Amino acid sequence: MPSTNSVPNRMKERLAKGEIVLSMSVRMSRTTDVVAIAETAGFDALFIDMQHSALDMDATSQLCVASRLAGVTPLVRPPSHDPHTAGRLLDTGAQGLIFPDVNTAAQAKAVAAACRFPPRGRRSMAGPAVQMGYRALPAVEQTALLNDATLVIAMVESAEGLANADAIAATDGVDIILIGSNDLCADLGIHGQFDHAKVHAAYETVAKACRAHGKHLGVGGIRNDIPLLTKFVRMGARFLSAGTDTAFLLAYAKAQATELRAIKPSG
């Protein structure tokens, strides 16, 4: 009799339906309150950024566990491609890893292997998994379920990565190609010029590669430019990194301070 066990992953379910996935990035928050905020605000995933923050393994784990309970998909961006770090992050509750600066098919193959159990990869077994509520299952069943529920996201952030986009997208085990727009612009010598022809061409190149190999396109680093984001979504993008906790807090705080400073005392 087939098992009824599964590993819910809201992000993966939405992608399978062709819907847009929105993630909220966390760099500053340390407590699980931010998970409730993300869920209430309507985000599908929490993008926990260990590359550009002081977040440690313990805080990241707490955020991952809370995300699972809230039905928000926990994603983590590790600071490197180190397979041991990748394994620990998955063991502590991440349902997807976002690897920065993936430039070649060989790198894509290595990070994908670090996230999947044999025979699909080289991830080490750790016993009952938090993603499954620590339910004990036969190893062959658990590894298959976790392999299927884990997302591997490769970031293309350089001219080299862009040149190898088709090979990266063709790599078995890579689910999403996320363009790191800020770093890509820097590498192309057009800092912050997201509407530049080179950026449009980059998205077209990666979108074509994703379509050819059945992968999903992601947009990172572009905020508040709805016309541009609309263009990229119509080009095929389905994963949007919508902004950071720091940026959201600063934007609201600045708006409130501006409104209050506009009040003039009488007399």
The arithmetic mean of pLDDT across residues 106-126, rounded, is 96
Band of residue 2 on the pLDDT scale cut at 50, 70, 90: very low
Is 200 a known active-site residue?
no
pLDDT attached to residue 5: 66
| Residue 136 pLDDT exceeds 90 | no
| Residue 167 pLDDT exceeds 50 | yes
Helix (H, G, I), strand (E, B) or coil at 8: coil
Residue 162 sits at the vertex; the CA angle it makes with 76 and 238, to the nearest 5 degrees, is 50
The topology under which CATH files domain 14-257 is TIM Barrel (3.20.20)
Helix (H, G, I), strand (E, B) or coil at 73: strand
Domain ranges of the chain: 14-257
Q: Are 94 and 65 in contact (CB under 8 A)?
A: no
Helix (H, G, I), strand (E, B) or coil at 154: strand
Find the catalytic residue in 52, 81, 191, 200: 52
Most distant pair of Cα atoms in the chain: their distance = 82
Give pLDDT tens digits for 89-113. 999 999 999 999 999 999 999 999 9
Give the pTM. 0.95
Other C-beta atoms closer than 10 Å to the C-beta of 33 total: 10
Residue 153 has which token pair?
């996201």
Q: Specify the pairing of strand 96-99 against strand 216-220.
A: unpaired
Q: Are 105 and 95 in contact (CB under 8 A)?
A: no
The arithmetic mean of pLDDT across residues 231-255, rounded, is 96
Q: Are 166 and 181 in contact (CB under 8 A)?
A: no
